[in-house]
Amino acid sequence: MDEKVTSPVTSSHGSSLDDPLAKTDQLKRIYRKIDMRLVPLMFFCYFLQFLDKVIVNYANIMGIAKNLHFVGNDFSWMATAFFIGYAVAEFPQGYLIQKFPVSKVLGFNVLLWGIVVCCTAATQNFAGAAAVRTLLGMFEAVITPSLIMITSQWYNKKQATLRTGIWYCGLGAGQVMGGLISWAAQHGSTTSSFQSWRIMFVSVGAFNLCVALAVIFFMPSGISDANFLTEDEKALIEEALARDQAGTGKKVFKMSGILDALKDLQVWLLFVNTILIVIPSGIITTFSATIINSIFLTPKKSALLNMPAGAISIFATLAGTYVIYYNLPRWLSIIGLLIPTIIGAGLMSFAKSNAGALAGVYLINFDVAPLALIYALVGANTQGYTKKVTVNVIIAIAFSIANIIGPQTFQDKDKPKYLPAKITVLGVAGGSILVTILLRVLYGVRNAKTAAPPALVVVTGANGFIAQHCVAALLEEGYHVVGTVRSAAKVDAVKNSHQRHPRLDVVVIEDITNAQSYLNILGPLSPVAVLHLAAPFHYNATNFERDMMIPAVQGSTAILEAAAQIKSIRRIIHTNSFASIYDAAAGPSPGKTYTAQDWSPLTYEDGVQADNAPAAYRASKTAAEKAAWKFMESRPLGFDLVSLCPGMVFGPFLPEAKPKSIAGVNTSNLLVWAAVSAGRDNTLPPTRGPVWVDVRDVADAHVKALRVVEAGGGRYLLASGIYCNQELADVSRRLFPKYGDRIPIGEPGKRESHTHFGVSTAETDKVLGVKWRNLEQSLGELLPQLFEVERGQAA
């Protein structure tokens, strides 16, 4: 970070929108307005698409089969017709939402399917019913991709998780309301030619039409035409989203990505698992009321008794949302949600009492939530734009196949118990657990290739302060390490720092901006991972582009280019800095909390034209990290990327790597030295960059990022907390009273944390589980070394 703090700037509209505290408050208020406009409309759209499906479930116990003269398995085929239409229309609907405003495509589809639902009431035979259900499936194929796109247009990734969970609850709400509507409609005339199930379809269709008009006229096509937001509010939202999505790169479509997806065993396990998970959902959506009616034999009572199943569905959906939001192990969560499904299937199939069978129907509704976790697994374990698109299409095909299969398990010859269909639910849920375990084994095997000692790991810039500790931590864990340095003169120094450890080799790569330089030396070694730490920083740099920007940016892309050609590599850990998170132009920003989701707005050009070395350094770290993420999106790759962003790195030197003079101390530890050695009565220097972390915790984070499967594709802030130079002086004086004449007194007890931003490492704590050292632990070992270096220098 820079040694000076710039003042907040004002927006072009004359307001203080660039004050981060004001931004935070305004964003909360703006998102309340957005939530009030968008979330109810999305909820009702998802609610209606499920209600439209589930009322067929209720129509079956209200006499539709008899009134339309169904024979044999006609009802099952009518249910299947919907999903055939759904599958056929997936690609055309996908084209429409890419070509036209997604909210308008959604609104007109809701309008059309509302008309089709109303028309269902006019059908007189199986052919008519199958035709309208096919059309309904074609129009409703738009719902999930459109709502996902709308959510991503307006919300960042973390916000989107919660909002998706809310509108996904429309599924359970549709089941509850469907039962109530069916019960009410059954109180109509039983002798009229316009039977109760026809009344139900007209009522639901009419409500669809009302919601469709609301979507068309009140849901904006995007942020730019949101007339309920001011221009300043739109600018704030766009800025927030741009930061969240920074570094995602261009959407480059390549045939190699399709082939990579088709050859990936993970993809086909996810395909099979999707089918197994969705089959019970398809069965319950269409036949739960029929199953309940076979138990209690009264349609009205069956309609009411099916309503609690919707409440179970809502609970399961919220549980799945919690799992994704808090990044719990997804594979384990899938199994946890499937266990109630298996219990329910067993009760439904074999329970002797009506209450037990009914409880089984309810428990099966836990099956709705694991599908969201499948989508999360796809996102977390698929690299490259083309491959992601291909895998999502494959999963969508699996969804359609499962929904076509599900209704066909209910055969007319098996009524009234439908035991084969019930046992199918039991079997596929159990099969899904087995496939989920196989997925976890596959991920473990792939990760083991990266993580398990004595695998070979490359550490670039191995002579650096952080890199020395990373090498030591890797060696302690049993890895074979190959360190790279830029000159032959540094080879022996690195080896000596680790007492010439037998599992440490050091190689020279002079040009760190040239991929071939890495490939020539590292290719034959077959490393499984790279810790990229080579990024020079000099306060005395004069040509910022030559000395900082080019080595940082081209150095990052060079190691990635080389890794792309070394098939053994499974993970790259890219060491960045809090500098790529921190917005220096925003100033101290009291009340602002930086997380790994934040990005510095600096660009490559800002670094070239910077006024000083710290500003150029911040720009170099930001540009290098964005270049790395952009590279990851540009093509299918056999490895993933982890980005680590430490604050100021303090802490002791390795015993064999202590510098010979204070001039040789690394930049961040020099800040500590300046704060504790100026003299008892002298003024403390100003704090430079108030975020700090112990070097040993940084090394621990690198090892854990190497070994934790779920860390792949993540960005993590490394910080023990906030400090100020007065705190450094106070802690040092308390720990080492003998150095009291050297440590400035300043204003004991005064702290600066309330005057500037804070940081949160919640995501890092959750995924990597780093146990952060405090200042006492860090300074307790560093200060004796620094004073020893000074004494040795004087001698």
Question: Is the predicted pLDDT of residue 347 greater than 80, yes or no?
Answer: yes
Q: Where are the beta strands (DSSP E) in 270-414?
A: none
At 295, is the pLDDT very low, low, confident or very high (cuts 50, 70, 90)? low
Nearest 5°: CA angle at 362, between 357 and 363? 95
Beta bridge partners of 303: none
Q: 249-441 in CATH: which number?
A: 1.20.1250.20
Beta bridge partners of 460: 532
Give residue 1's pLDDT.
Answer: 36
Question: Is the predicted pLDDT of residue 531 greater than 90, yes or no?
Answer: yes
Of residues 307 and 790, more confidently modeled: 790
358, 364, 368, 371: CA torsion to nearest 10: -170
Average pLDDT over residues 562-588: 92
- 599 half-sphere exposure, CB direction, 13 A CA radius: 22
Of residues 594 and 320, more confidently modeled: 594
At 5, is the pLDDT very low, low, confident or very high (cuts 50, 70, 90)? very low
Q: Determine the residue type at 7.
A: S
Give residue 219's pLDDT.
Answer: 93
How far CA 89 is from CA of 48, 49, 94, 110, in Å, comes to 19, 15, 8, 15
Give residue 247's pLDDT.
Answer: 35
Residues of the chain with CATH 1.20.1250.20: 13-245, 249-441
Give residue 17's pLDDT.
Answer: 38
Of residues 61 and 428, more confidently modeled: 428
Contact assessment for residue 468 and residue 654, using Cβ atoms and an 8 Å cutoff? yes
Give residue 435's pLDDT.
Answer: 95
C-alpha–C-alpha distance, residues 146 and 271, integer Å: 22
The three-class DSSP label of residue 531 is strand
Q: Single out the residue of 652, 657, 654, 662 nearest to residue 789, CA to CA.
A: 662
Structure-token pair, residue 94: 């996908």
Contact assessment for residue 285 and residue 49, using Cβ atoms and an 8 Å cutoff? no
Give residue 7's pLDDT.
Answer: 30
Question: Is the predicted pLDDT of residue 393 greater than 50, yes or no?
Answer: yes
Give residue 162's pLDDT.
Answer: 79
Q: Which of these ranges, 16-30, 238-252, 584-598, 657-671, has the smallest mean pLDDT?
A: 238-252
DSSP 331-343: HHHHHHHHHHHHH
The three-class DSSP label of residue 643 is strand
Residues of the chain with CATH 3.40.50.720: 452-794
Q: Which of these ranges, 368-372, 407-411, 593-597, 762-766, has the smallest mean pLDDT?
A: 407-411
C-alpha–C-alpha distance, residues 245 and 161, integer Å: 15
Question: Is the predicted pLDDT of residue 411 greater than 80, yes or no?
Answer: no
Pairing of strands 529-532, 504-508: unpaired
- 158 half-sphere exposure, CB direction, 13 A CA radius: 10
Contact assessment for residue 618 and residue 584, using Cβ atoms and an 8 Å cutoff? yes
The three-class DSSP label of residue 34 is helix
* DSSP 8-state symbol, 690: S
Structure-token pair, residue 90: 């997936």
What's the longest Cα–Cα distance across the chain?
110
Give residue 728's pLDDT.
Answer: 95
At 13, is the pLDDT very low, low, confident or very high (cuts 50, 70, 90)? very low
* CA 663 to mean position of chain CA atoms: 43
Give residue 192's pLDDT.
Answer: 60
At 285, is the pLDDT very low, low, confident or very high (cuts 50, 70, 90)? low
Give residue 251's pLDDT.
Answer: 44
Question: Is the predicted pLDDT of residue 250 greater than 50, yes or no?
Answer: no
* pLDDT tens-place string over residues 645-693: 999 999 999 999 999 999 999 989 999 999 999 999 999 999 988 999 9
C-alpha–C-alpha distance, residues 613 and 4, integer Å: 12
Give residue 376's pLDDT.
Answer: 67
For residue 790, the surrounding DSSP H or E stretch is helix 775-794
* pLDDT tens-place string over residues 132-167: 999 999 999 888 888 877 887 888 767 777 788 888
Pairing of strands 571-575, 640-646: parallel
Strand ranges of the sheet holding 480-485, from the earlier edge strand across to the other edge: 504-508, 480-485, 456-460, 529-532, 571-575, 640-646, 715-718
Question: Is the predicted pLDDT of residue 464 greater than 90, yes or no?
Answer: yes
Q: Single out the residue of 560, 553, 575 nearest to residue 469, CA to CA.
A: 575
Of residues 574 and 584, more confidently modeled: 574
> Which residues make Cβ contacts (< 8 Å) with residue 448, sequence separation at least 6?
none
Give residue 282's pLDDT.
Answer: 64
Give residue 75's pLDDT.
Answer: 81
Q: 135-164 burial string, b = 16+ CB within 10 Å, else e?
A: bbbbbbbbbbbbbbbbbbbbbbeebbbbbb
Of residues 171 and 291, more confidently modeled: 171
C-alpha–C-alpha distance, residues 732 and 711, integer Å: 36
Q: Specify the residue for token string 């962003």.
A: 645
For residue 459, the surrounding DSSP H or E stretch is strand 456-460
Q: Which of these ranges, 347-361, 380-394, 620-634, has the smallest mean pLDDT?
A: 380-394
Count of CB atoms within 10 A of residue 740's CB?
Answer: 11
C-alpha–C-alpha distance, residues 17 and 8, integer Å: 9
At 212, is the pLDDT very low, low, confident or very high (cuts 50, 70, 90)? very high
Give residue 188's pLDDT.
Answer: 61
* pLDDT tens-place string over residues 93-103: 877 887 788 89
3-state helix, strand, coil in the chain (%, to 5): 65, 5, 30
Question: Is the predicted pLDDT of residue 3 greater than 50, yes or no?
Answer: no
Q: Provide, rounded to the nearest whole percent, the portion of the chain with pLDDT above 70.
A: 87
Question: Is the predicted pLDDT of residue 792 greater than 70, yes or no?
Answer: yes
Q: State the burial class of residue 445 (Cβ atoms within 10 Å of its Cβ: 0-12, 13-18, 19+).
A: exposed
How far CA 433 is from CA of 337, 430, 440, in Å, comes to 10, 5, 11
Average pLDDT, rounded, for the chain: 84
Pairing of strands 691-694, 721-722: antiparallel
* Radius of gyration from C-alpha coordinates of the chain: 31
Structure-token pair, residue 503: 């599992």
Average pLDDT over residues 554-569: 94
> The pTM is what?
0.60
Q: Determine the residue type at 98.
A: Q
* pLDDT tens-place string over residues 699-711: 999 999 998 877 8
Task: Kindly report whether the peptide bond that precedes residue 416 is cis, defined as omega within 30 degrees of 0.
Answer: yes
At 4, is the pLDDT very low, low, confident or very high (cuts 50, 70, 90)? very low
How far CA 692 is from CA of 560, 649, 710, 718, in Å, comes to 28, 6, 25, 8
How far CA 717 is from CA of 3, 460, 555, 649, 765, in Å, comes to 21, 20, 22, 12, 10
Question: Is the predicted pLDDT of residue 513 greater than 70, yes or no?
Answer: yes
Number of residues in the chain: 795
Q: 214-231 burial string, b = 16+ CB within 10 Å, else e?
A: bbeeebbeebeebeebee
At 34, is the pLDDT very low, low, confident or very high (cuts 50, 70, 90)? very high
Q: Single out the residue of 701, 711, 686, 690 nearest to residue 757, CA to CA.
A: 690
Q: 452-794 in CATH: which number?
A: 3.40.50.720
Q: Single out the residue of 491, 718, 464 nearest to residue 472, CA to CA.
A: 464
How far CA 529 is from CA of 321, 447, 514, in Å, comes to 32, 10, 19
299, 304, 307, 308: CA torsion to nearest 10: -120
Q: Provide, rounded to the nearest whole percent, the portion of the chain with pLDDT above 90.
A: 42
At 503, is the pLDDT very low, low, confident or very high (cuts 50, 70, 90)? very high
Q: Which of these ranges, 106-120, 266-280, 321-335, has the smallest mean pLDDT?
A: 321-335
How far CA 605 is from CA of 341, 569, 579, 601, in Å, comes to 56, 32, 16, 11
Of residues 571 and 395, more confidently modeled: 571
Q: 13-245 in CATH: which number?
A: 1.20.1250.20
